[in-house]
Chains A and B, each alone.
Chain A
Amino acid sequence: GAVVSQHPSWVICKSGTSVKIECRSLDFQATTMFWYRQFPKQSLMLMATSNEGSKATYEQGVEKDKFLINHASLTLSTLTVTSAHPEDSSFYICSAPQGEGHFQYFGAGTRLSVL
């Protein structure tokens, strides 16, 4: 099956710093990738849809300038959390759809802890 690699799996940073998370489709091309955030005991919340070669589409309430998304190639999308604050601490997961059924294949997730 299709494989999506997400890196890093865990990051701890100081408040005010920026953190970049990478999402790669290893054996297929993805013109679209999805970025989710999940707080403890809650479901996945779609943050934005990353589009290769164009601007990302952000969900309502998600700050574009804080969560920078770049989809520079057909296999790589990045999410940068700028000026991170403790309330940004969460589990961030990317996914990429593949095939006729638009199955979403998930990365392993990144646990961000902002001190």
Chain B
Amino acid sequence: GQNIDQPTEMTATEGAIVQINCTYQTSGFNGLFWYQQHAGEAPTFLSYNVLDGLEEKGRFSSFLSRSKGYSYLLLKELQMKDSASYLCAAMDSNYQLIWGAGTKLIIKP
């Protein structure tokens, strides 16, 4: 079956770095997405990886290893506004997104 695993909750300190891991199993693969979702709001797109390696975009970076079915989202210089849920989603061969349950990130001062 198709499955996405990511931690339920993580806590980090303002100004620090945090890495959110995601492992996936899908029927075919057309890329790995990370979305940020604040409470009561729709998800907003953060990153997309389809090739192995690291994609850097400002304070956020995303890494993919297709052979390991593994991705991580790296957040640097954490700010209080980064407190949110981070959703990992893999796109299967039918271009359908398979969603993880989300990782709730709590930032402490």
Contact = CB atoms under 8 A, between A and B. Distances in A.
B42 A103 contact: no
Contact of B102 (A43, A91, A97): A43
B69 interface: no
A108 B101 contact: no
Contacts, number: 42
A102 B95 contact: yes
B99 A43 contact: yes
Q: Main secondary structure on chain B at its contact with chain A?
A: loop
B10 to A, nearest CB: 15
Given A43-B87, A109-B42, A104 B97 contact: yes
Contacts of B104: 41
Contacts of B99: 43-46
On chain B, which size bracket covers the interface? 20 to 34
Nearest to B87: A43
A44 B102 CA distance: 9
Among A104, A105, A111, residue most surrounded by chain B Cβ atoms (within 10 Å)? A104
24 contacts: A6-B42, A42-B102, A43-B99, A44-B43, A44-B87, A44-B99, A46-B97, A46-B99, A91-B40, A93-B42, A97-B95, A101-B48, A101-B50, A102-B30, A102-B95, A104-B33, A104-B97, A105-B45, A106-B43, A106-B44, A108-B42, A109-B41, A109-B42, A111-B40
Interface of B: 30-31, 33, 40-45, 48, 50, 87, 91, 95-97, 99-102, 104
User: What are the 9 closest A-B residue pairs judged by CB atoms, nearest first?
Assistant: A109-B42, A43-B101, A106-B42, A102-B95, A43-B99, A44-B99, A43-B102, A93-B42, A108-B42
